[in-house]
Every structure is written in C-alpha cells, then in structure tokens.
Amino acid sequence: MGDFVNIPEIFGCDVFNEATMRKRLCSEVFNAWKQCIENGTSLPLDVANEIAVAMKQWAIEKGATHYTHWFQPMTGITAEKHDSFITPDGEGNIIMEFSGKELVRGEPDASSFPSGGLRATFEARGYTAWDPTSFAFVRDGSLYIPTCFFSYTGEALDKKTPLLRSIDEVSREATRILRLFGDKKTRRVIPCVGAEQEYFLLPKDLYSQREDLRLTGRTLFGAQPPKGQELDDHYFGTIRNRVSRFMQDLDEQLWRLGVLSKTKHNEAAPCQHELAPIYTAANNACDTNQLMMQVMKKCAAKHNLVCLLHEKPFAGVNGSGKHNNWSLSTDGGKNLFSPGQTPAQNARFLLFLAAFIHGIDEYQDMLRSTIAGAGNDHRLGANEAPPAIVSIFLGDELTAVVESIINSTNYEGPDKGLMRIGVDVLPPIPKDTTDRNRTSPLAFTGNKFEFRMVGSSQSIAGPNIALNTIMAEILARYASELEQAEDFEAALHTLVCRSFTEHQRIIFNGNGYSKEWEKEAARRGLSNLRSTPESLDAYLDPANIDLFKKHGIFTENEFHARYEIHLESYCKHINIEARTSIDMVLHQILPAATAYSAALSSGILSKEAAGLPCKAEKALAKTLSDAADSLYSTCQELQADLETVPADNRMAALYYHSMVLARMETLRQAADILEKYTDKSYWPYPTYSDLLYY
Ligand code: ADP
Ligand code: MG
C-alpha cells in the first residue's frame, strides 16, 4: 500500500453494475433487464440465462471460482452459501458453468436461521431469489448475488423482502400525491438512504485477552479510567499509523465495491470512528451497509485491529450508532423534502412534511421498536445518544412556519406575512449543517430526515421498512382525501393545517437529554420505551399489525414471527452476557483478587512478626475481601437467576431485563472495586485505560 490508487479507475470495478451490464450484454437483454427494474416485473428465464453467462464470464475474469446467493436473514447479518462454477463435463474434465436458473434461484438450508416459528410448520428448506435491482459483485474469489430469502410457502424469512415491498408501497402512494399536484411525469418515487456508520477500533492483541469482548462484543466489566490519562506518544504514534493504513485500505476496498465511502477519524470517544457513504436508493443502501460492516471487520483483522460494531462496548464512553438519513426522491431526481422556490413546490413540500410528522407521531412506538435490541438499550436514554423518546427536530425556522400555519398567525420571518399554502413562498429554510441539535433522535436536516436511534450493529432494513410503510400509509390517506376534494387548494390547506395541529406534540427542538424533556414528553403523551422487551410490545398492537398487513409488507404470521425472533434474540444475548460474566468472575476476577489478598495477608503476617505497622495493607485487604465476598454471593445469585427464566418468550425477555441485567450491574460494581484495588500485575485482562488509550 501507499501506492498510487487511481480512484476513478477502481471505483465499482468489482461490481456487475449498470455500466458493465451495458457493455457486456446485448442491447435486447440489457433493455429487458432495465424494463424489469423499472416495472418491477420478474425476469424471463431466457434473459436470466443470458445475464448469467455474461456475469459468470465477467466474474471469472475477476478471479472468481465460486458464486453465492447472498441474503439477509433475521440474524441481522448476512449469510451466504458458496457453490463453485465447476461442473464435470462427463469426460473427466471440468467446465465453468452458471445458468440463469442458478442466478435467479437458490435453495439454502434454512434450518439454521431464525424463523420465529414460520418454518416449523413447513419444510426446513428456504429459497433465495435474485433481486435484480441490486448489483452482483465479486469479493474474495466469489461472485455475490444479492437475494431475497423466503420459505417454501413464500413467507419472508429475511429483511430484504419486506424492504422491497415497502419501497414499492411508498412509491405508489407518493406518486398518487404527485398526480394531484399535476405531476404527470414521475413514474416512481424512491426512498433514498445514507447510513453513517460508527465503530470502534482496538488492537487485536488487547481485544483477544478479553473474554467479554470476544463473546459479547462489549466489556461486561471495567473500572473507569483515571481522567486526563497521559498518552504514550510512541505507542500512540505507531497505532495511529496502523489506523490510518486501515482507513486507506478500507476506502479502497469499498470503492472497488462501488461504495462511495468517506472514513473519518473524528468521533466523540477515543478509538471511535465513523464511515459515511454517499446516499443511494434504500435497497442499495441497505445492501451496502451490510457489506460495509463485513469489509470493515475483515479489513481490520488484516491490520491487526478489531472493529467493534457493538452499540456500547464501554460503559461511560460514548456508544456507536448509525445515522439513517432518509428522504424521498422522484425518478427524475427531485427531492420531495426540499423546500422549493415556488408556492406550488412549497405546498408539495409541506404536504410531505405534514405526512411525515403525522406518521411518526401516530406510529412512534413501531418506529422505536425497529431499533430495539440488547446492545442499543445501553445507548438510548443513557444521556449521550438520542433518548428513547421519539421526537422530531425541525429547527426554529421551519417550526415557525408550522406554527404560523397552525395558528393562522403572521410568520415573523424575513418576509413577514400569513403563510397560506399554495400561495406564499416559504421563507428560506437553512440547512442544518451545523448539527445544532445532536440530541434529537430524528432531525430534519434541510432536505432529509436523520434517524439517529439506529444501533451501530443493526441492519438498517427494519427502520427503513417502517419509515417507508408509515409514509405510504399517511400519503394514502391524504391522497384519498384530496382526490375527493372539489377545491384542491382549500382541501390541502385544511389537511396540512389539521395534521400539524394534531401531531405537533412530536416536534421538539430542545435538549433531548434533559430530565425536563422526559417530563414534558410524558405530559404530551409521547412514549418513553426504555427497554427492548417493553418496546417490542408494538408488534402486538392491532394498529401496527393492520398497517403492515394493509400494505402487504407482512402477513400477520410474518409480523408475529418477527416479534418472536426479536424477543428470542434479546433473551439469548443477555443470557450469553450473564454466562460470560459468571465465567469471568469465577475464572479470572476472583482468582486474581484472592491471590492478591493472600499475598497481602502473608505480607501482613510477616510485618506483624517483625513488629511493623501495616494499617494500609490491612485496610486494603479488608476492602478486597468485602468486595470479593459480595462478588461471589452476587455471582451465585446470578447463577440462580438463570435457572428460573420463565418459559414464555415475552415474560423471559422482561425477566432478563429486570432481573438478570440488574444483577449483572451489581456484579460489575463489585468486580470494578476489585479491579481498582488489585495490584495491576495480578489483573487478568486489559483495563479501560489499556483498551481506550492504547
Ligand atoms: P454531514 O452530516 O457530514 O454534514 P451530510 O449531511 O451531507 O453530511 O450527509 C450525511 C449523510 O446523509 C451522508 O451519508 C449523505 O450521503 C446523506 N444524505 C445527504 N443527502 C441525502 C438525501 N437527500 N437523502 C438521504 N441521504 C442523504
Ligand atoms: Mg449525521
């Protein structure tokens, strides 16, 4: 490395993208593929066959020997099943083969993936189907084909299938609205997403010494490091070089895969970084984010680093999230959340804005539940990341516009006057480039909404499915109302005004971390769902079931299956954490502390025999012994807790939250006291100082 890299030349070079397809396919096949994409129809087999041949040839030239259907099961990460192109030709030789059928359809064994009970009634086989709107790519000698994953009876077992459904829904309803504004050209509206990814980097040798990091992705123990830690400049310097080499390498790998990434150093916590790709269509953004996370991990390993994607690897240190920037764009490239230059454009903007505010308010619990998870619980509401309360930041200017519409009062902006929709030009709405409000979970930033509650390890599919579907639902209602109207402008004004009035409680521009906001939010009737088990109840709400059913995103069965999967995953996570805690206490922490106490005690005995004072040693030994006693008894209580987990999934999740996690916290406190008072040479693993200020 360090070699000159011709970025335009390598960009997307490992992707079978539109430009490559145009070059490699005959024009009929290319056009047929393009038609399918545009009309959302499925690919005829003869077209698939031709694409498969060209794709295989291209992949082989790139060094691929295998192909894999790449899918996004409910584990939240991706899965792949590799098959080789190699086929015996019957005469003892081999040929490299890949048919349209193999491109379009695969049959991985589904039994190892969570199905939430969907699969139990059917067979273990699952099916994968190529998503031709997402490009195939070559990585590590394999041709990766992005696919949907579903059961024998067609029920979605993955995150891509419902995402694609939701993209179609919001497109249809938004287009309906655009027709009302006289737009006859737009054929599709595309949700666009840019997901900024935060992560930590640690040296591999330190990471490997911590069982908690290896098994759970976060530290289960660790006393806070002393403030103002002096850095070891030499070591720091060499590591920093390693980190920048990693970033350079990562960018290059991602560029080859067609990901427009910009890695950045500057995150809040030590060792924390961010990677922001340029936004794309939601489906692609979702694939890309999954790919990015994998490439990051792999690339880190190559540089003797470990990439931590956990939401809260270290207590007391900022966690990691994913900022999901979301907007709607027409196929002509018009951003529907851009305040326009003319009264008509503004009217359209205000309608989309009203729909968003309306939808988020009405379905706040559902949106909150899409980012629920054991890891993210440590972030939300923990005084650093966004709170667990969903609210929307609009900024002062836009809020003033909304208020003047609600109250029919004069807008006290640069152009004073009554704001009448369809007549007036909006005052200029400055883009919130300054990140004035980092505490908001959902901020309007000029022409997009930035949803900041997403956890760093989570798939962005869930939140985007919800955003698309919620938007589709409200736009559908608005379209129905406006299509009936005799006087469109008057009806539009009434509608927008009513929506703002009824849903303004979700708008909040103040400090989201403050205690006052919690009180104020409660007064406004906004939810504050602090834990995963609580927030997953959204899956049981008939209004939410209806929402997804009505738009064909999830059947009731599929929806319920997801609920069970999330509950189960939560329980499993906490269970593993609890068992890892116990293991570390019994095999590392207690032995270290008692060995040190024993050494202290024999020191005390010899000093006393020699007639020397040993008050300090005695006090220290007492502190250690007390903490060790409490650690041991809490550890036994935790073990007992794990033996009485309720059988029902929902009850189990609540139990893990209220009993097990609370006990682990008590356990940690005792362990951290021991860490503080034990001679460092006895301590069995790297401390926070070692890890964070390496
Ligand atoms: P920053 O937050 O660093 O100032 P931006 O606000 O420009 O940078 O962008 C943050 C993220 O939002 C990037 O991933 C960017 O591509 C994405 N983004 C920008 N515009 C849009 C949009 N209209 N829709 C969705 N995502 C967008
Ligand atoms: Mg951001």
DSSP string for residues in 180-237: HTT--S---EEEEEEEEEEEEEEEHHHHHT-HHHHHHSS-S--PPPPTTPPP-HHHHH
* Separation of CA 377 and ligand 1 centre (Å): 26
* Separation of CA 670 and ligand 1 centre (Å): 44
* Separation of CA 102 and ligand 1 centre (Å): 37
pLDDT digits (tens, 9 = 90+) for 239-275: 678 888 999 999 999 999 999 887 776 666 678 899 9
Q: What is the pLDDT of residue 86?
A: 83
Average pLDDT of the chain?
90
Select from 278, 448, 471 the residue to mutate for testing ligand 1; criterion: most ligand atoms less than 8 Å from CB: 448
Q: What does pTM read for this prediction?
A: 0.94
* Separation of CA 278 and ligand 1 centre (Å): 7
pLDDT digits (tens, 9 = 90+) for 163-199: 999 999 999 999 999 999 999 999 999 999 999 999 9
Q: How far apart are CA 653 and CA 664, in angstroms?
A: 15
Q: What is the pLDDT of residue 668?
A: 98
Regions of the chain short of the pLDDT cut 50: 1-2, 121, 228-236
Q: What is the pLDDT of residue 342?
A: 79
Is the beta carbon of 193 within 6 A of some atom in ligand 1? yes
pLDDT digits (tens, 9 = 90+) for 102-151: 898 888 877 878 888 776 545 677 889 999 999 999 999 999 999 999 88
Q: How far apart are CA 485 and CA 510, in angstroms?
A: 37
Token reading at 102 = 């193999």
**Shortest-distance atom of ligand 1 to CA 445:** 6
Residue 170's CB is within 10 A of a number of other CB atoms, namely 25
What DSSP element (H or E) covers 137?
A: strand 136-139
Give one word for 528, left, alpha or beta, with left for phi > 0 and alpha for psi -120 to 50.
Answer: beta
Is the beta carbon of 189 within 6 A of some atom in ligand 1? no
Q: What is the pLDDT of residue 77?
A: 87
Is the beta carbon of 490 within 6 A of some atom in ligand 1? no
User: Which ligand has its closest atom nearest to the C-alpha of 194?
Assistant: 1
Spatial CB neighbours of 164, under 8 Å, sequence gap ≥ 6: 131, 133, 148, 283
Is the beta carbon of 378 within 6 A of some atom in ligand 1? no
Is the beta carbon of 369 within 6 A of some atom in ligand 1? no
Is the beta carbon of 273 within 6 A of some atom in ligand 1? no
Q: What is the pLDDT of residue 229?
A: 37
**Shortest-distance atom of ligand 1 to CA 327:** 24
Q: Are strands 449-455 and 321-330 parallel, antiparallel or unpaired?
A: antiparallel
Select from 325, 326, 451 the residue to mutate for testing ligand 1; criterion: most ligand atoms less than 8 Å from CB: 325
- C-alpha angle 289-293-296 in degrees, rounded to nearest 5: 130
**Shortest-distance atom of ligand 1 to CA 337:** 23
Dihedral sign computed on CA atoms, order 617, 619, 620, 625: positive
Q: What is the pLDDT of residue 322?
A: 95
Q: How far apart are CA 439 and CA 35, in angstroms?
A: 44
User: Which ligand has its closest atom nearest to the C-alpha of 289?
Assistant: 1
Dihedral sign computed on CA atoms, order 208, 213, 217, 218: negative
**Shortest-distance atom of ligand 1 to CA 325:** 26
Quote the DSSP letter at residue 3: S
Q: How far apart are CA 359 and CA 259, in angstroms?
A: 31
Residue 527's CB is within 10 A of a number of other CB atoms, namely 16
**Shortest-distance atom of ligand 1 to CA 279:** 16
Is the beta carbon of 289 within 6 A of some atom in ligand 1? no
User: Which ligand has its closest atom nearest to the C-alpha of 431?
Assistant: 1
Nearest 10 degrees: Cα torsion 84, 89, 95, 99: -70
- C-alpha angle 657-658-662 in degrees, rounded to nearest 5: 90
**Shortest-distance atom of ligand 1 to CA 278:** 16
Q: How far apart are CA 492 and CA 347, in angstroms?
A: 8
Token reading at 67 = 């192909």
Instruction: Give me the DSSP letters along 425-455.
Output: PPPP----TT---TT-SEEE-SSSEEEEEEE
The residue whose CA has the least distance to atom 5 of ligand 1 is 433
Task: Identify the residue whose tokens are 């851009």.
Answer: 338
